[in-house]
A and B are shown apart, each in its own frame.
Chain A
């Protein structure tokens, strides 16, 4: 067996490491791209719930886990789930609605050179450029609360395509960032403490019947 890990997983771990101070409080975790090491992040949090993005772009929690906090989540981790749905804009709005004031959404998805279909794993939809990501999230989150970063470069992208694992590249080679060749895009978006909610009518309770029905 090869050492190292998939190049995309390396970037996911790096993204989480860079934002580790945000992973706290009441956490909702979406998506299946997590590795055992990644589970260590947020270990000190009060609650970790597992959810997924539904067919219509809505958020679904497993019923047995569903104890949605009244104010929303302090942190939502969404690894490679946004573009499984037809309507990523709706998903972003719902994630925003599910956050507590000052809560942080940490999301990753494929860049333009690493689409899911190439892994044969699932039918992904679109890879997104770093610039377009900023535009898309700025429709819902204030631009000053947004941090968007592309991970990867031509060498890492080609290695990922060929199924070459991270230990065949040096750390410097993996860490070099060239937005024209983003393998993964990472977004950190903080919901404002107060003030106008751009999607006030799209409230958390209305969004997720599964969680809301079971919340206390």
Chain B
């Protein structure tokens, strides 16, 4: 069975007859798809009808500033303000700030450990994929980081990292291993996103759905209530993010609206079980050394 998409998907079923003029214009446009005046008629009709229906008719969409093939900013809007995904990442971490405590591992730097764990963090560790980062306390690929001790961290902050890792499953196994019982993984992954071309050293591999993340992370955090996966964003903020329009160009209400069908970003709060299940607490210091594990 074929489903109706497009304008009809938003309300009116496709089998229901439309209003006369709208159907005539659509028929004419199918017949002469390149006729510019018909496109204009459709747009004008759309403008008239939009007031009542708040939705342009097919063929009459006014794309405005967004009718362009290059994004407004290729760097996620960094040059215009705060990238929209950063807004959501920081909102998520602010809501979970009380869990950023004890010994905390963050990837690439410790900005969020310091900012959200202020006063609660006893030790801040940084994992970096290669030896280019002097602040790193561990060097290696999360997917094969056997040198990071097991059961050592009360919190692992993993923002926008999993999409770069080929063996995402293995990386999550490492995270589970190095968390202490009751420790928490606070992670975010891109849902709908442009590919970053900022750092040519990394291959951006995946985009995730909330369902994929639920399955992927749930593999390791199985007990009841351990896993909380959510999406954030809506059609407008996702559109803005894709074009590189910054957070400051949207209103707080627009940013706050949540549409579960449009997953701009996926957030994960995963807690490791308190009782020891054997595999998670020993065998950490295997003497694997500090080999760099690039892929």
A residues near B, CB below 8 A? Answer: 1-4, 6, 35, 86, 111-121, 123-129, 131-132, 135, 153-155, 157-158, 161-165, 167-168, 173, 176, 178-182
Contacts and interface: CB of A to CB of B under 8 A. Distances in A.
Nearest to A127: B207
A178 B215 CA distance: 31
Given A2-B26, A3-B29, A167-B59, A129 B69 contact: no
Interface of B: 2-3, 5-10, 14, 18, 26, 29-30, 33, 58-59, 61, 63, 66-71, 74, 166, 190-197, 203-212, 215, 235, 238-239, 242-243, 261-263
B206 A161 contact: no
Chain A CB within 10 Å — which of B58, B195, B196, B243 has the most?
B195
A165 B14 CA distance: 14
A180 to B, nearest CB: 4
Contacts of B207: 111-113, 115, 126-129
Nearest to A132: B205
B8 A2 contact: yes
A154 B205 CA distance: 18
Contacts, number: 153
Contact of B209 (A126, A157, A163): A126
Q: Is the interface of B mostly helix, strand, loop or mixed?
A: loop
A3 B8 contact: no
B206 A126 contact: yes
A120 B260 CA distance: 10
Contacts of A118: 192, 261-263
B47 to A, nearest CB: 15
A171 B79 CA distance: 31
A210 B192 CA distance: 37
A129 B205 contact: yes
Contact of B166 (A117, A135, A176, A180): A135
Nearest to B205: A132
7 contacts: A1-B8, A112-B192, A154-B69, A155-B67, A167-B58, A180-B71, A181-B242
A30 to B, nearest CB: 18
A165 B243 CA distance: 19
Contact of B210 (A117, A154, A161): A117
B273 to A, nearest CB: 23
A115 B262 CA distance: 9
Contacts of B215: 86, 125
Contact of B61 (A154, A164, A180): A164
A99 to B, nearest CB: 24
B206 A165 contact: no
Given A1-B14, A112-B192, A112-B207, 14 more contacts: A114-B192, A115-B263, A121-B3, A124-B209, A124-B212, A125-B208, A126-B212, A129-B204, A131-B205, A132-B166, A132-B204, A132-B205, A173-B69, A180-B194
B205 A180 contact: no
Contacts of B74: 180
A11 to B, nearest CB: 14
A118 B196 CA distance: 21
Contact of B33 (A3, A117, A162): A3
A23 to B, nearest CB: 22
Nearest to B214: A123
Contacts of B66: 155, 158
A168 B262 CA distance: 22
A215 to B, nearest CB: 31
Contacts of B69: 153-155, 173, 176, 178
A128 B206 contact: yes
A4 to B, nearest CB: 8
A114 B209 CA distance: 10
Chain A CB within 10 Å — which of B26, B205, B262 has the most?
B205
Contacts of A135: 166, 203, 205
B139 to A, nearest CB: 23
Contacts of A120: 261
Given A118-B263, A154-B243, A180-B195, A2 B6 contact: yes
A154 B240 CA distance: 11
A13 to B, nearest CB: 15
Given A131-B203, A163-B5, A167-B29, A2 B242 contact: no
